[in-house]
Every structure is written in C-alpha cells, then in structure tokens.
Structure 1
Amino acid sequence: MEKLGKKGLALLLCAGLGASMLTGCGKKAEAAAMFTYNGEAVDNNVATFLFRLQEASFDTSYGNMFAQYYGSANVWDMDLTGQGSTYGETFKDEFKKTMEKLLVAQDHAADYKITLSDAEEKSIADAADKFIAANSEKTLEDMSATRDVVIKALEMKTIQKKVEDEVGKTADTEVSDEEAAQRKVSYISYTPTTETESESEGLSEAGTEADAQNTTEADSTVTPTASEAETAVETEKSEKTKSAASETEAKAAEASTEAATTEALAESETETESPEMQAARRKYKAMAEEELEKIKDSGREFSEYMDEVSKEKVAGVTASSMTFGKNDSYPASEIIKATNDLEDNTLVDHLVEANNNYYILYVNEKLDKDATESKKKQIIEERKQTAVDDQYTEWEKDVKFETDSDAFGKLTFDRAYTAPASADTEAAAAGTESAGTESYGTEAGAVQGTEAENGQTETAAVEAAEN
C-alpha cells in the first residue's frame, strides 16, 4: 500500500491513513497549528506526541548524567554553551529541524517508490495498541497520544528511515586500508595524583556505592512491556544513519562537555598549581621513567608489565590498550605522533607527555585488521550521513516550513524522567535502525511506560530496535 504520491503531503490530508499528520480537508483547525508545511497545518497532536517522546528520550539517556554534574539545577533553564540560550530553547530549535526533515522525507518517499506493506502496517498497529495499553489515561492525555496519533507517528518515522536509507545508498562505499588504517597500542599511563586527591577519590567511591544502595522506591523508573512488532519494516539491511532527533542528544552531551572543559580551563588559568601537585608531577614522571628503563632492559613481554600495574593498583597508574589512526582526533596528538610508522611489537623509546599525563607506549600491531574494518564501516556511515544531510539541504530549498511561536511556546518542560535499572524489552522493527542514542520511534518499536519523578505527571516512550 503506497503511502505517499508524487504530490507529497497533500495526499495525506484525506487519505484515511490512521490519524492524518496534517489538519485540513476543508475543516478549520480547532487551535493554532504549531507548524505549517507548504501552507498546510501540521496536526498539533502528532507534533506534541513526537516532542514528548524526544524529551523523554533525552531524559532517559542523559538525565542522570546532567543530574550528577549539575545537581538539582534544571538543565532546561541553563545556558550550557554560554551562547545566551537555555538548553530548552536549543532543544526546541532542534525539534523544529526534526519536524521539518520528517515532513520533507514524506514528501519525497514516492521518489523512491517507498511503501509500507500490510505486514508492516499490522506490526505498527500492534505496537500502537501496546503503547496505549501500557499507559494511563493521564499519560496519553499529556502526550496527545491517541491510537491513531501513535500509528501515524510510527508510520512517518518508518517512511523517513526508508527514505534516508535510499539516499544513503548514493554514498561511495569504497574505503582503502590506507584510509582506514588503525593501529593497536598498549600503554601504561601515569597521572600525577596527590595524597589528598587519593583520599578524596576513595571517599567518593564509597559514597557512590552507598548512594546506589539507598535509592528509594519514590524514584520512578521505566517499566518496560514486551513488543510484538517483531516483523515490522522488512527493508533491505542497511547501516545506521543518524536521525535529526539523535543530533539533539549528541549536541546536548557535547554542550555539557564543552561547558565542563571551559570551566576547567578557566580554573587552571586563574589558579597556580600547588606545591603538592608540582611534587606529584616530579614523582610520577620519575616513576614512569624508571619503569620505561626497566622495560627496555628486561626483555619481558609488555603485557606482563601491564598485568603488574593492574594488580598493584597504584593511585594514578593504569594500563590499557587502544586503537586509532594517524588522522584521528583521539587520543592526544603526541601519542599519535609518537607511534606513527612503527612496526609490530615496538616499544616507543621515550616517555610521552600528553594531557598532563606521562605515557609508556607499545605498538602491538601496526595494522589492526578488526579495528580497521570497523573504521571502514564508520567512514561509510559518515559518508552516508553526509549524503543524507546534503539531500535534506537541497530538498529544503523548495520547502516553506513555519512555526507559530505562541502555539509552540505552550510546550513546556515540566516533566522529569528516570532511566530503568534494566530494560528487558524485546527487539522490534526488524531490518531498520534508529541512530545513536536517540532511540524513540524511527519505526514501530518496544513500548515503555514512564512515570515522571515526584509524581508530577506521566508520559511514555517508544524505543526503536537496533539490529
């Protein structure tokens, strides 16, 4: 059953495909539409439902992280990037982009002869039924979630994923070993640590364990219910392409990191390093130099020294391995440069200082085949995403997407969510994927009921399966 014809969303107005995404058909909307697309009003119920899902997904994925970092502060009211906008405003700006891309994808589905099969429609309907059954009337009311609205949202997300998959196929998938080459490097790192910091770290770990044990029943958690939509969306298997919604979460995490980094840099510029830390630096550098000379002279395997470090558990001294390429942004450039062009089983003959740490480095493999193959896949996915982003940019030139500030402004951030201790949900929507950590409904998925903290209200989340 074909969902969209060449004329795009206009055909959705009276097509009878569940709840229409757009109001119209000669009837006046009951309230001002938050969004209009090429002059047609977008159904506020569907927009509200998708907004609340995105909000819940953010809180589930990042709520605990922000709570730990910022304490009781409301992240939605905070300027995380120092650009003069609250994160709530940033989030809503990103959601507008999400909605526009969703609508544009529907408009171009017919270009790729994209349809939803009867089996897919049934699976989507089953997922919607489970969603409705899993949540209270209050939850559904808060989300503007009728059965038809949920079905329409899942249909549109599924179509969008199919469109993006087709666009992604235009990307170049040929990646050479040289371009993707990844080396495997083992290391022993020495992070200068004062006695005060060591004691503080021990107390922090003890406190964290106690907090985990004292979690009260008053904290609401997600209670998952099993989805039966396992046969939905039987498209050709494709790698992930990042959804616009996932960009929102990624930018949130990036904003948090940037804020923390800015704060740390400001502190380092205004505070002189203590004599205690200066002494710690000299001590740890000497420890690292002594260990390096011992490794050079012994002829023992580097892994044996790594095992000893793990067993001794000296504060600030750790051992591990990593893979990276010569053009990667991680790890530090000093580490990448020091290991360039070295052959397998080669010890770097000098101590490497990076990010205020001291490193003993050992090249295990000049070309790690598994890591290189993974890098190839990553490069291909990045190319696909670039193709998708570029195509959206081209399509959006011919689109008139408008927002009613007053109507959209009525969507406020008055909910707080807690992530589940364990989510034993069944995989759904076989054959398609949601990108990144933004896992709400790119297609029919596992259904979860979610209660807001402090008993304020309830909402729910639809999670797409990842294959």
Structure 2
Amino acid sequence: MKRKLVGLVLAAVIGAVSVTGCSKLDNDDVVAEVGGTKITAGVANFYARFQQSQYEAYYSSFLGNDMWSGEAEEGKTYEDSVKETIMNNLQSMYVLDMHKKDYDITLTEEDEAAIKKAADAFGEANTLEDKELISGDSDTVEEVLRLLTVQEKMREAITADVDTEVSDEEAAQKSMKYVYFSFNKTGDDGNTTQMTDEEKEALKKDAEAFRQGAEDAEDFPAYATEKGYEAANLTFDSSTTSPAQELIKAADALAEGELTDVVEGPSGYYVAKVTSLLDREATDTKKESIISERKQTMFNEQIEKWLDEEKVTVHKSVWKKINFVKQGVTIKDTGSEESK
C-alpha cells in the first residue's frame, strides 16, 4: 500500500465525508515525536486518510459501512488496529529520514519533479473543502511523498547486502493434482447445507471408488473428468495449510506418482496424486519470496534498532482527532500514470 501511494496521489480524486462530531484538527499540532523530530497532525492526517481510503475500498464491501467500529480483536476495533499500524509506519518513515545521510540518500531532480507533479495533480483534482478535511495542501502532500520516496531508497540501501542465495532444498515446492468431495450440498432452492452422517458415508464410498479407479489411470485429470469430477492443481511444501492440513500431510509423505488414500478434511474428502517433488516454477517463486522476507526482516530490524535509540512520544489527544468512524474517505482513480 505504501509503495503505491505516490501513484495514487497522482491519480486520485478524493471524496471526504464528515459524518458528525469531528474534532477540529490543527495541521501544525504535533501528533508524535521521534527524538527531536516532530510529526505534524497535517502529515499524519493526510497519510492516514489515504491508508483509510484503501482499507475502505478493499474491506467495506464485506465488513460493512460501520467497519471501523467493528472488533478486530478482543478489546480493539478495526480503527484502533489500523491507526496503530499507521502510527508505526509514520515513526518508521521519520526515523529512516533521520538516518538517510548514513547511506548517502538524497532526492534526485527526477524524484523532486515526480513529487511535485503528483502533488500538483492532486491539488487540481480536488476541491478545497475536501483537501482541508484530509490536510491535503501542497506542502503536506509533498512532504508525505518525500518521506515515502526516502523510505524506498532506504529500503534498497539497507537491504543491499542481504543474502540472496537460496538452495532448491530450502525452497522446494512439490505439486499435486487432487479431487475434492465436499460435505456441502446444494438443494433445488439454491441453498447450501451440510450433509448428514449417512450422506457423508455414501460420499466416502464414492471417493474410495474414485481412488481405486485412479490407481490404474495414466492421466489423473482425464480420469477425474471422465468420472464427472474436476482435478485441481496445487503446489505445496510441509508448511502449506490450504486447502486442508490433512491433505498436505498425506501428500507430503509420498513419492512422485503416488496416490493418497481418501483423506478426510474439515469440509470434505480428498484424493490426490503427487505429480512432482520439485516443481521448478513454484520453487523459483518461493526463492523470490524467501529473499523478499529476508529483506523485510533486515529492514524492520534496522528500523526497530533506530527507534529503540530514540525517545518516541505519541500525543494521544491530537492523534484521537484523526477519526475514521466520523470521517469517511473515498478515492476515484482517474487512471493517470504512476509517479516514480
């Protein structure tokens, strides 16, 4: 989300909706301090509102319009949880900015031009009223984009020496084809219900019959189709949990070309055939994932080290004024090209 914010700002038309009772926010107030560096309420508000708009776009359809007041975990609303993440992100961006000279990080003329282009486009696309609600004045927009640009440059610099060697053994991904026999059934009225125990027993016999026939079939997917089923593809390792841990455990113990017995999972039966003990494409993709995780771990650890060295203070009375429940935000993407 953070990496695409520059491009979103360049393309974004904001719709900010005040519901009721929003506390007046002074953009010059200090919402937090990292060492001697002050994070203004304006910067925090603008960054938070863009993050809010993304969450609302992705999750409101199934969490509902009152998603922010819903419970994310015991004793914590979605607003609490997301705002905690946003505050951590802001602190991280500022501590990275404080240490950019350690890595000789500067903004190029191209960077500065891209930032100004994005800020100008945002300013032209939005009304003064909406920009005031989200602290979207040009100076604040440019400051947030500057911080994000520095952050990405610092990410590259800090992780430049990460170990990029990953063996096939460490990343190995197997592959299987499987047929799923669901415990759910759909009635004539279109409603889905759970099978009875007797129906599950009958279904298991069907799965066992399929498994017996598949033993002699040269082409597992073709045999499945012939019998009215569909064979799904899956790449996996021992840590895979979907579609069912029971299936993964059974398949992981087999040699290439072998079939599982009928495996019972929480929602149905499975019959699978292991097709490869080293799926090349999936293994290479896993290697990239492992390298990415190493970089993220190195990056996070360095940020945490620097933050531990600073006195960090959050002014809760100011931060509380940035309220997602009382002010909604939407983004309409105009399709403009992304800034760097």
Query: Which category of TM-score, normalised to the shorter sequence, fits these structures?
Result: 0.7 to 0.9
The match for 1:187 among 178, 185, 193 is: 178
Rounded to whole Å, the distance in 2 between the matches of 1:47 and 1:390 is 23
Conservation of the 8 A alpha-carbon contact between 2:181 and 2:270: yes
Conservation of the 8 A alpha-carbon contact between 1:188 and 1:320: yes
Instruction: Compute the displacement of 1:417 (Å).
Output: 5.2
Alignment of 1:156-171 (within 5 A): 156-171=147-162
Counterpart of 1:125 in 2: which secondary structure? helix
Q: 1:104 maps to what in 2? A: 95
Q: 1:62 maps to what in 2? A: 59
The match for 1:390 among 286, 289, 301 is: 301
Give the TM-score, by structure 2 length: 0.84
Rounded to whole Å, the distance in 2 between the matches of 1:404 and 1:383 is 33
Rounded to whole Å, the distance in 2 between the matches of 1:102 and 1:408 is 17
Q: 1:225 maps to what in 2? A: none
Counterpart residue type for residue 387 of structure 1: M
Conservation of the 8 A alpha-carbon contact between 1:185 and 1:361: yes
1:292 aligns with 2:211: yes
1:304 aligns with 2:222: yes
Q: 2:139 maps to what in 1? A: 148
Instruction: Compute the displacement of 1:354 (Å).
Output: 1.9
Rounded to whole Å, the distance in 1 between the matches of 2:239 and 2:323 is 43
Alignment of 1:219-238 (within 5 A): none
Conservation of the 8 A alpha-carbon contact between 1:190 and 1:318: no
Alignment of 1:40-439 (within 5 A): 40-67=37-64, 74-81=66-73, 83-196=74-187, 199-201=190-192, 277-297=196-216, 299-308=217-226, 312=228, 318-340=230-252, 342-344=254-256, 346-413=257-324, 414-416=326-328, 424-429=335-340
Structure 1: gaps of 5 or more residues: 1-28, 202-272, 430-467
Instruction: Compute the displacement of 1:155 (Å).
Output: 0.9
Q: Deviations along 1:57-99, whole A, 9 cap, x unmatched? A: 11122222323xxxx5x12112222x21222122222221111
Counterpart residue type for residue 83 of structure 2: K
Q: Deviations along 1:322-342, whole A, 9 cap, x unmatched? A: 101123344533222222354
Conservation of the 8 A alpha-carbon contact between 1:182 and 1:325: yes
Counterpart of 1:194 in 2: which secondary structure? strand
Which one scores higher on RCO, CA 8 angstroms, separation ≥ 6?
A: 2
Q: Deviations along 1:196-217, whole A, 9 cap, x unmatched? A: 498215xxxxxxxxxxxxxxxx
Q: CA distance change for structure 1 residues 419 and 200 in 2, over 3 Å: closer, same or farther?
A: farther
RMSD: 2.5
Counterpart of 2:161 in 1: which secondary structure? coil
Q: CA distance change for structure 1 residues 342 and 148 in 2, over 3 Å: closer, same or farther?
A: same
Q: Which shifted more, 173-182 or 131-140?
A: 131-140
Rounded to whole Å, the distance in 2 between the matches of 1:419 and 1:355 is 40
Counterpart residue type for residue 325 of structure 1: D
Q: Which shifted more, 409-418 or 86-95?
A: 409-418
Counterpart residue type for residue 280 of structure 1: E
Rounded to whole Å, the distance in 1 between the matches of 2:271 and 2:289 is 29
Rounded to whole Å, the distance in 2 between the matches of 1:87 and 1:303 is 43
Instruction: Compute the displacement of 1:138 (Å).
Output: 1.6
Rounded to whole Å, the distance in 1 between the matches of 2:57 and 2:197 is 41
Counterpart residue type for residue 147 of structure 1: S
Instruction: Compute the displacement of 1:191 (Å).
Output: 0.8
Counterpart of 1:80 in 2: which secondary structure? strand
Q: CA distance change for structure 1 residues 195 and 152 in 2, over 3 Å: closer, same or farther?
A: closer
Structure 2: gaps of 5 or more residues: 1-25
Conservation of the 8 A alpha-carbon contact between 1:193 and 1:280: no
More strand by share: 2
The match for 2:33 among 36, 57, 78 is: 36
Among all aligned residue pairs of Structure 1 and Structure 2, give the percentage whose two residues are the same amino acid: 28
Q: 1:251 maps to what in 2? A: none
Rounded to whole Å, the distance in 1 between the matches of 2:260 and 2:55 is 46
Counterpart of 1:171 in 2: which secondary structure? coil
Counterpart residue type for residue 67 of structure 2: V
